[in-house]
């Protein structure tokens, strides 16, 4: 049995590439990676509902719920103020909508979360230059 979907060389490359990207990522990039992964899985789950792939849909939405919990848990409530609280509430709402979508195969609930998370992701990506610290040149 092959551990990687598709061809083994391609699967192995994608696995190494993903792990390497995480290891080298700054906190802002890590959050972006989480959001991108959740968006990809929401898109796949929506397709699974439309095609009747219920078991795969459940696994995908479970992983999205876990990612949203991680995003919510990473909020700095002490320093983030009202913005952090609003995001926390929105993440909570998204998790509840995913549960509804999963339990009832509701494409609209999954699509709603996909749209909300995509908007947050786009805003997060837009602030990248403001939050990234300049890298120091290495001494030669």
Residues 111-119: contacts with CB under 8 Å, at least 24 apart: 111/46, 113/42, 113/64, 114/39, 114/42, 114/43, 114/46, 116/90, 117/35, 117/38, 117/39, 117/42, 117/68, 118/39
Confidence of residue 26 (pLDDT cuts 50, 70, 90): confident
* Per-residue pLDDT at 4: 42
Domain assignment of residue 1, yes or no: no
In a domain, residue 6? The reply is no
pTM listed for this prediction: 0.76
Q: What is the CATH number of the domain that holds 76?
A: 1.20.120.340
Q: Is residue 94 part of a domain?
A: yes
Asked if the model's pLDDT at residue 18 lies above 70, the reply is: no
Does residue 114 fall inside a structural domain?
yes
Is 138 among the domain residues? no
Question: What would the mean pLDDT of 65-75 be, rounded to a whole number?
Answer: 96
Give me the domain span that covers residue 48.
27-127
Domain assignment of residue 107, yes or no = yes
Looking at residue 6, its pLDDT comes to 47
pLDDT at 27: 85
Number of domains in the chain: 1
Is 2 a domain residue? Answer: no
pLDDT of residue 1 exceeding 50, the answer is no
Q: Which residue has the higher pLDDT, 5 or 124?
A: 124
Share of the chain above pLDDT 90, in %: 70
Which of the four pLDDT bands, split at 50, 70 and 90, describes residue 128?
confident
In a domain, 22, yes or no: no
For 95-110, write each residue's pLDDT tens digit: 999 999 999 999 999 9
Residue with token string 């909570």: 92
């Amino acid at each position: 049995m092959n551990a990687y979907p598709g061809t083994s060389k391609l699967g192995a490359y994608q696995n190494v590439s993903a792990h390497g990207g995480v290891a080298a990522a700054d906190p802002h990039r890590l959050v972006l990676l989480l959001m991108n992964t959740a968006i990809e899985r929401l898109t796949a789950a929506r397709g699974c509902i439309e095609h009747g792939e219920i078991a795969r849909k459940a696994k995908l939405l479970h992983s999205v719920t876990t990612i949203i919990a991680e995003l919510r848990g990473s909020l700095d409530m002490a320093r983030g103020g009202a913005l952090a609280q609003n995001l926390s509430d929105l993440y909570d709402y998204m998790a509840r909508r995913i549960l509804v979508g999963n339990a009832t195969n509701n494409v609209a609930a999954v699509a709603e979360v996909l749209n909300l998370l995509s908007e947050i992701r786009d805003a997060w990506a837009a602030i990248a230059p403001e939050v990234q610290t300049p890298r120091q040149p290495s001494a030669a």
